[in-house]
Chain A
Amino acid sequence: MSSQPEPTNQQSEKNEISRREVFVKIGVLLNGLAAVILATPIIGYLVSPILEAKGNGYKRWIVLGELDEFPENQTRLARFKNPITGVSDGQTDDIPCWVRRLSGDQFQVFAINCAHLGCPVRWFPQSGLFMCPCHGGVYYQDGSRASGPPPRGLFEYQYKVEDGKLMIFAGQLPTLSTTAALRKRSGGCQG
């Protein structure tokens, strides 16, 4: 330090400016740091719907009804309360699904949502077809695609029978990437 020459007036002014520049940079840095610290909880808040969905986060085993509510060889509309609800859902958390009882404990439980773009499919027992009102998707009674734009058969819920009650594993809107964890099915005949 002592070896440095005495600063002239001009030099000291320059030093003064560079000192201010350093302070400005520190100021920017401090605000950047504060922004990062602030952003972390905000981002956590925003992406919480993704974090909560991890694994089977949104899904629960739900009782659909007594076995004898579903006659054999018939397909019936059933409804359940979504396991995850909010404070202002109204009736949007009443979710319908189609239950097909083959025989005894053999079931197929289909999501109401067309595999094409999610519109509600309707069951026509006379012709044994599910038809979609939006873009013309049609499915056979076993849920396999019959015609129209759907890229696959109807989404199917996992089910089990316990104490004479039919239960399904459900809780989120089924789409091509958020399938209701549904059993892999071998593609039916698409003749």
Chain B
Amino acid sequence: MSRLSRIGDWFEQRLQIGGAVREAAEHPVPRKSASWFYVFGSAALTIFILQVFTGIMLALIYVPSAAEAWNSLQFLNHTVTLGWFLRAVHGWGSNFMVAVVLIHMCQVFLFGAYKFPRELTWIVGVFLLLMTLAMAFTGQVMRFDQDAYWGLGIGASICGRVPVIGSYVVHLLLGGPIIAGATLSRFFALHVFIIPALLIGLVSLHLLMVLKLGVNEWPMPGRVVRRSTYMQEYHELTHKRGVPFVPVAIWKDMFFSAAIIVAVMACAAYFGPFGPTGYPNPTIIQTVPKPDFFFLWLYAMLALLPPSVETPLLLIGPVIAIGFLVLLPFISGEGEKSWKRRPIAVVTLLLIAVALGTFTKLATYSPWSPVMDGWSSDPVPVEFLNGRTPLQRQGALVFQGKQCRNCHALDGVGGKRGPELDRVATRMTHDQLVRQVIQGGGNMPAYGKNLNPAEVTALVSFLETLHPPNQLPARDAARQAVTPLQ
């Protein structure tokens, strides 16, 4: 007997877990499930372990104090050897983890793996997704910069919309009257102790059920799940025609996990760490706060929802969404697993993906926000001033000086809150322009109090020149009809 196996035996005599470990490793999986489509769950676990490890590394330096957090991140970025790289790996690891968990969920959904008897595995998975998103949000707060500060303000404002107990929720969230040291401390406790503990517990439960119930078989059109016969059929697939997980399936998981880790490190090395952006001093108001990538869709929705339904949707929407995900395996616990026979499932998933993708894309340039320096950064293009009268040029000055450009683009430069005005004269008559400027409407503020009559006259005469040379400005048809009679 070699020395090594004698040491092994010494431990085995005391621990007695060798058999269970071997059984778990060699549990039979359906032959076709040893597939590249089944690698996302293990990859999510791998990234989670990476996050725990790099998180502990960062905690060696990071100071969870509103006074020091930002400085400690700068210290990590610039002074500590390879501190920037560990921050970058943790930050990119977070993005990859959310992405991989979402892909894993889509795959499980499309392959019908949430159906009998894996309902509870799916439900635990839903909470794992929520915990992952909670980690991403609280992690953004750890990067205690201006985005984090005002992001907390948005979180508190959403809580403030809860009826009756809103103020309690706000003060519990903030740990006091304002966003301050206590707020960061409690988000630190959430990010480092509470949510990771829940994640470890739920991941263990999730994995245990995967081992006990077996990995989902490859869905075949026409192979229908029935509670009465499924266990028997699955047993057939695994114990008669199956293959052992180790070594037949595991090498694909290992290859993919390694590739993901390398990808995280490559992004970290190439793109570097995230922030921190500006110092978290609320009196610095020259800031345009934005959330991290995976919350951009929410940021866009908050801008685009009609104000009247915003509060109900914000408060009830998540309950409905989570409720639906939890109830899904009970709504369709049996039946076809194959996506080829589940068109509604496929269309639903595509619809959600397209919607979230569109919102995310919009949020990258937030067309609903006035561009704060639109009026002072770019002059009115020369072609809009050539050959114009002094009054029209004065109007261009009013246009620029009154910050119209913050919301209206000229020649593609400026805000997108309101319509681009390059051709506004073809759409609106003189009278309509005057009315719109003075009274506003259609989401435009009224400028009646801030423009004197001379300024309105100049501004409108400038706006009337904004039409292509080969296209006449809009005319008031009624007035045209009357003119020949005079």
Contacts and interface: CB of A to CB of B under 8 A. Distances in A.
A75 interface: no
Contacts of B149: 92
Nearest to A173: B178
B285 A120 contact: yes
A91 interface: yes
A147 B153 contact: no
Contact of A175 (B159, B283, B285, B375): B159
Given A117-B154, A128-B450, A146-B446, A172 B178 contact: yes
Given A86-B181, A128-B449, A92 B66 contact: yes
A135 B368 contact: yes
What's the dominant secondary structure at chain A's contact region? loop
Contacts of A132: 369
B178 A92 contact: yes
Interface stretch (A10-18, A66-74, A77-85): A77-85
| Most B C-beta atoms less than 10 A away, residue of A52, A127, A134 | A134
A151 interface: yes
Contacts of B161: 175-177
A126 B401 contact: yes
B153 A127 contact: no
Interface string B167-184: 110111011111111101
A95 interface: yes
Interface string A103-146: 00000000011001111111010111101111110101100001
Nearest to A138: B445
Contacts, number: 218
Contacts of A122: 285-286, 372
A17 B287 CA distance: 72
A128 B167 CA distance: 32
B403 interface: yes
B285 A136 contact: no
Contact of B280 (A92, A126, A173): A92
B307 A151 contact: yes
A88 interface: yes
B379 interface: no
B372 A112 contact: no
A65 interface: no
A96 B450 contact: no
Nearest to A49: B171
A94 B149 CA distance: 13
B403 A178 contact: no
Nearest to A59: B177
Contacts of B288: 133-134
B10 to A, nearest CB: 38
12 contacts: A88-B68, A92-B66, A92-B181, A116-B157, A128-B449, A133-B370, A134-B154, A134-B302, A148-B368, A173-B156, A177-B162, A178-B160
Interface of B: 65-68, 70, 149-150, 153-154, 156-162, 166-168, 170-172, 174-182, 184-185, 279-283, 285-289, 299, 302-303, 305, 307, 310-311, 368-370, 372, 375, 401-404, 406, 417, 439-441, 443-447, 449-450
